[in-house]
C-alpha cells in the first residue's frame, strides 16, 4: 500500500497503475467530479475497485455549509459520475444510518 498526499489533479500516474483506490469525505471538494472519476478510472487496472465514502446530501444541506467550498451530491449523481467515467454499471451503494445520520459507501469496479 502506498499513501500519497496531494492534489489528485496535479499528480501524474500511468494508466492501469492501481488495483484499488479509496476516498473518504473528499468528494465535496473535487472541483470537477466528472473529470476526477474519469482520471480514477484511467489509473485503475481493469477489474480495479474504487471505494468512495460520503455523507448524505440532505444532512449536509441542513448544515448550511459554504457552497463555495462544499459541493454536495446525491447518491444518484455519484453513481452517474462513476458510470459515465467507465466504471461498471453495477455500482454498488451501501447506506448506513447511525442515529439520525446517513453515510454512504460506493463500491465501483472498472
Q: 49-63 burial by CB neighbour count: b if 16+ within 10 A, else e?
A: bbebbbbbbeeeeee
**In this predicted structure, what is the pLDDT of residue 41?**
96
Taking only the tens place, the pLDDT of each residue in 51-62 is 999 999 999 999
Rounded to an integer, the average pLDDT of 19-27 is 94
**In this predicted structure, what is the pLDDT of residue 105?**
98
Q: Is residue 89's pLDDT more than 90?
A: no
pTM greater than the 0.85 cutoff: yes
Q: How many distinct structural domains can be found in the chain?
A: 1
Taking only the tens place, the pLDDT of each residue in 25-71 is 999 999 899 999 999 999 999 999 999 999 999 999 999 899 899 99
Say if 8 falls within a structural domain.
no
CB under 8 Å to 44, separation ≥6 — which residues? 16, 17, 18, 19, 20, 21, 50, 110
Q: Is residue 4's pLDDT more than 80?
A: no
Q: Is residue 1's pLDDT more than 80?
A: no
**In this predicted structure, what is the pLDDT of residue 12?**
86
Residue 43 sits in a domain whose CATH number is 3.40.50.150
Mode of pairing for the β-strands spanning 44-55 and 101-109: antiparallel
The residues that bridge with 93 in the sheet, in sequence order, are: 106
Say if 2 falls within a structural domain.
no
Rounded to an integer, the average pLDDT of 82-107 is 94
Domain that holds residue 61: 17-109
Amino acid at each position: 500500500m502506498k499513501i500519497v498526499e496531494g492534489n489528485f489533479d496535479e499528480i501524474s500516474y500511468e494508466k492501469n497503475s492501481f488495483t484499488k483506490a479509496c476516498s473518504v469525505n473528499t468528494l465535496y471538494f473535487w472541483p470537477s467530479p466528472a473529470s476526477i472519476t474519469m482520471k480514477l478510472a484511467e489509473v485503475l487496472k481493469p477489474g480495479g475497485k474504487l471505494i468512495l465514502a460520503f455523507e448524505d446530501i440532505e444532512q449536509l444541506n441542513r448544515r448550511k455549509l459554504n457552497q463555495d467550498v462544499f459541493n454536495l451530491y446525491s447518491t444518484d449523481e455519484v453513481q452517474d459520475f462513476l458510470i459515465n467515467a467507465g466504471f461498471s454499471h453495477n455500482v454498488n451503494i451501501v447506506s448506513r444510518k447511525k442515529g439520525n445520520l446517513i453515510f454512504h459507501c460506493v463500491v465501483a469496479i472498472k
